[in-house]
Chain A
Amino acid sequence: MNFYGALTIKQKQVVWAWTFLAVPAIFYCLIRFYPTFNAIALSFQEWNLLGARTWTGIDNYTKLFADPVFWKVFKNTFIYLLLGTPISLLISFVIAYNLDKVRFMHGTIRALYFLPFMTSTVAMAWLWRWFYQPVPIGLFNNALATIGIPQFEFLNSTTWALPSILAPAVWAGLGFQIIIFMAGLRAIPQTYYEAARIDGVGSWTTLWRITLPLLKPTIVFLVVLSSIGFLRIFDQVFNMTSNNPGGPLNSTKPLVLMIYETAFSSFDMGYAAAQTVVLFTVLLIVSLTQLYIMRDK
């Protein structure tokens, strides 16, 4: 008390500032940094969740890079990213751009697009899983069968399983992207468009020269967010292929599902941690690269 009493008002303010700041800081350290560093340490250990952890050096990493499944999964993860991000951004921009001009039932249409985003991914994944089933229960294949077209192996194909899973994932994310795009479009001052109209510029040029450049911050935000989303894809794959986790011959398995299986069905926690560290590194590199490329010059 004496010590505190001897402080000046300025010093007391500092003490109080740090006292309040300490709460979120400690909380953040405990729930963010401690587990993160623990996971990094675990990636150099062997642990089956039951016994003691033992140090194994870089064994987990050498095993990982020699594992053909890992490379298959790594490739899948990037296919999800490289197909998912551009397709979803293109579709959502086209919808947002046109929806922005629609006055008729604007709110209702926007709500309809946003609806899938609010739906639980698990429920949605199971619904699509049912759509994709072969005859006699699958919706798509039953429709094909009634018009006499042979059924299509959606999920039970090494070629088509991944796109089949990606489709609902893209669809579910559209609502969010459309809303963000529309907010971005609304933020562009009308004066630019008025000036363009006075100068007699066509709508195509307006789009390329005014709308898109001014939407850049929005696009950067959505690219980063959707990339991270597709790199971490899990729920859709897990729920649509739970009979054969990761699809036929690992054709749909993303990295996160491999991590989950290694950790919670093989109980090889160290190996799973090593995969997590790799995923973290990839996410970091991809995000930083995107921010660098799309920064304001």
Chain B
Amino acid sequence: MTSWKKKLLGLTTGAVVAMSSGASLAVEIEYWQYIFDARIQAMDILIEKFEAANPDITVKQTTFPYADYRTKVAAAIPAGEGPDVVQLFYGWLNDYVDAELITPLPTDMFPPEQIEAEYFPMVQAMKRDGQYMALPTAVRSLALFYNKRLFAEAGIEAPPATLDELIETAKKLTKKDGSGNLTQVGITTGMNAQDHHWFREVLVRQFGGAPYDASNAKVTYADAGGAAALKWYTDLQTVHEVTSFGFMDEPQAAFKAGRAGMHIDGSFRIGALDSTRGLEWGVAELPAGPDGMKSNYSSYWVNALTSKATGEKAEAAKKFIAFITTDEAMQIWLDTVGELPAKPSAGLTDENKMNPVFGPFINGLGYAKTTVFANESGQRQVLMDATQRIFLEGQSPEDAIAAAAAEEQKILDEYYN
């Protein structure tokens, strides 16, 4: 063997030994989230930064299809495999805590007082027995998307600021063909999309009602306020004729196709609209209620520590959660995914507030509420049925809202008892 070959061999052996000894010192933790390109990308950036700051910890990101959440995560953790840190939808957290798949965040590293002071108020839904169960990096809220081209065509200068203005604006944007069929709607509607959130947390409150009591286990919208809200909402179709449920199959499809003047949706829609060619759109805060009241609905995904993480891994996982909930991480998430920072300190920066796209969403966070769902699809179905009963069976809004409340109460009772 020539000397340079010997040297090379020596170097390689040395490197292999060094690398393997380095690996044995390091802790590897696993982070799991579902497959969504922008989120994976954002998390890759965050992991890179985290590993640079903590050279002894490596984070492995695993992704899986959204539909496999319960089966994969629930099967892996008790078997001692799977994630140390997992991303969950806020509404599922209770189920995961009850199943002992999630460990509460320790109060020394994540003091509740500090969390309450730093985060937007809706994050308090993550607190159980004085401890926080999980924390979000980003939150989402609703806003009114509007089609700038159609607005200009109809000579409308600004998006509506109140519900009354919304009806007037929508009338100007509505078009019908010779047979009286709608060919362009003023505003999209459909309880199947985001409207059930808009109805529950925004319209019901604006008309003087409240969707649930403080325990979130009792439905309270079956009163004059709830009925007025449902009447206002269904009147858009039956009285003002500015919309039609199921118009162009899906509300967001109608808006994307430029066949709808206005559309209420979440901040997660920004990406899809951005990539729609030829669509010029703007965003405004949700219209205020009759007495000027503003409300919004917020939802979020949280990062939770699983019960699989113990010892060194748990310590590393906690550090990782602390890192991905810093202001810096939140700004990266906003820039990459388009989801809003969970802390006012990161979200309510002048730059973000003035941003024409993110601004209205971020401003909405200040007064947003979060629904504590027991069974989101079931509770959504109840409101869909209520509107269908009005449209197809001619039920009065009072009866429809009472029936909806009774059905939803049944779902809640089953869950909490």
Residues on A close to B: CB < 8 A?
48-52, 129-130, 133-137, 141, 145, 148-151, 155-158, 243-245, 248-249, 261, 264-267
* Closest chain A residue to B378, Cβ basis: A266
Of the candidate stretches B214-222, B338-346, B382-390, the one touching chain A is B382-390
Known: A49-B71, A243-B190. A129 touches B389 (CB 8 A): no
* Other A-B pairs beyond A249-B392, A266-B377, 19, CB < 8 Å: A50-B98, A50-B99, A51-B100, A134-B182, A134-B246, A136-B248, A137-B248, A145-B177, A145-B179, A145-B181, A150-B179, A150-B180, A155-B246, A156-B246, A243-B192, A243-B249, A244-B384, A249-B388, A267-B95
- Assess A151 versus B98: contact at CB under 8 Å? Given A137-B249, A243-B190, A267-B70: no
B323 at the interface (CB under 8 A from A): no
B180–A129 touching, CB < 8 Å: no
CA distance A264 to B71 in the complex (A): 10
If A148-B179, A249-B392, A261-B377 touch, does A50 touch B95 (CB 8 Å cutoff)?
yes
Q: Is the interface of A mostly helix, strand, loop or mixed?
A: loop
Contacts A136-B183, A145-B179 given: A157-B246 contact, CB under 8 Å? no
20 A-B residue pairs with CB within 8 Å? A50-B99, A133-B246, A134-B182, A134-B246, A135-B182, A136-B177, A137-B248, A141-B181, A145-B179, A148-B178, A148-B179, A155-B246, A243-B190, A244-B384, A248-B392, A249-B393, A265-B377, A266-B375, A266-B377, A266-B378
In the bound complex, residues from chain A placing their C-beta under 8 Å from that of B187 are: none
Q: Which of B99, B246, B259, B388 contacts A136 (CB 8 A)?
A: B259
- Distance between Cα atoms of A245 and B388 in the complex (Å): 13
Instruction: Give residues in B with beta carbon < 8 Å to A.
Output: 67, 70-71, 74, 95-96, 98-101, 177-183, 190, 192, 244-250, 259, 375, 377-378, 381, 384-385, 388-389, 392-393
8 Å CB contact of B181 from A52, A135, A261: A135
Contact of A50 with B74 in the complex, beta carbons under 8 Å:
yes
A158-B98 contact given A244-B384, A266-B378, CB 8 Å threshold: no
Closest residue on chain A to residue B70 by CB atoms: A49
Least Cβ–Cβ distance between A290 and chain B, in angstroms: 35
Contacting pair B249 A133 (CB below 8 A): yes
- In the complex, what residues of B have CB within 8 A of residue A135's CB? 177, 179, 181-183
A50 and B177 contacting across the interface, CB-CB below 8 Å: no
A151 x B179 contact (CB < 8 A)? yes
Instruction: Report the minimal beta-carbon distance from A5 to chain B, rounded to whole angstroms.
Output: 44
- A244-B192 contact in complex given A145-B177, A265-B377, C-beta closer than 8 Å: yes
Q: Are A134 and B385 in contact (CB under 8 A)?
A: no
| A238 to B110 CA separation, bound complex (whole angstroms) | 44
Q: Give the Cβ gap from A146 to chain B, nearest Cβ, in Å.
A: 9
A157 & B183 in contact (Cβ 8 Å cutoff): no
When distances are taken between beta carbons in the complex, the residues of chain B under 8 Å from A137 are: 248-249
Q: In the assembled complex, how far is the CB of residue B413 from the closest CB belonging to chain A, in whole angstroms?
A: 12
- A150 and B389 alpha carbons, distance in the complex (Å): 22
Cβ-defined contact, B181 with A158, below 8 A: no
Q: Least Cβ distance of A101 to chain B in Å?
A: 43
Q: How far, in Å, is B378 (CB) from chain A's closest CB? A: 6
Question: When chains A and B are docked, how far (Å) is the Cα of A243 from the Cα of B250?
Answer: 7
**B77 CB to closest chain A CB, in angstroms?**
10
9 residue pairs, one from A and one from B, having the closest CB atoms: A50-B99, A51-B99, A135-B181, A265-B377, A49-B70, A248-B388, A136-B183, A50-B74, A243-B192
Task: Give the distance to chain B from A246, nearest Cβ to Cβ, in Å.
Answer: 9
- Other-chain residue from B96, B180, B389, B392 in contact with A157 (beta carbon distance below 8 A): B392
Q: Cβ of B182 and Cβ of A51 under 8 Å apart?
A: no
With A50-B98, A135-B181, A243-B249 known as contacts, the answer to whether A265 contacts B378 (CB < 8 A) is yes
Which residue of the partner chain B has the closest CB to A243?
Answer: B192
Q: Which residues of B contact A265 (CB under 8 A)?
A: 375, 377-378
B183:A249 contact, CB within 8 angstroms: no
- In the bound complex, how far is the Cα of B392 from the Cα of A137, in angstroms? 22
Q: Which residues of B contact A48 (CB under 8 A)?
A: 95, 99
A243 and B387 alpha carbons, distance in the complex (Å): 14
Q: Report whether A151 and B392 are in contact in the complex, using a CB–CB cutoff of 8 Å.
A: no
- What is the distance, in angstroms, from B173's C-beta to the closest C-beta of chain A? 15
Q: Smallest distance from the beta carbon of B10 to chain A beta carbons, Å?
A: 54
B182 and chain A: residue at smallest CB distance: A135
Alpha-carbon separation in the docked complex, A151 to B179 (Å): 9
Which of these, B182, B246, B385, contacts A243 with CB under 8 Å?
A: B246
Contacts of A156 in B (CB 8 A): 245-246, 392
Instruction: A245 to B377: give the CA distance in the assembly, Å.
Output: 10
The minimal Cβ–Cβ distance linking B70 to chain A, given in whole angstroms, is 4
Q: Which of A151, A155, A157 has the most CB of B within 10 A?
A: A151
A134 to B192, CA, bound (A): 17
Chain A residue contacts of B74, Cβ below 8 A: 49-50
CB-CB < 8 A to B248: which residues of A? 133, 136-137
B87 nearest CB across to chain A (Å): 16
Check A51 against B245 for contact (C-beta < 8 Å): no
Contact status A134-B388, CB under 8 Å: no
Q: When chains A and B are docked, how far (Å) is the Cα of A248 from the Cα of B388?
A: 6
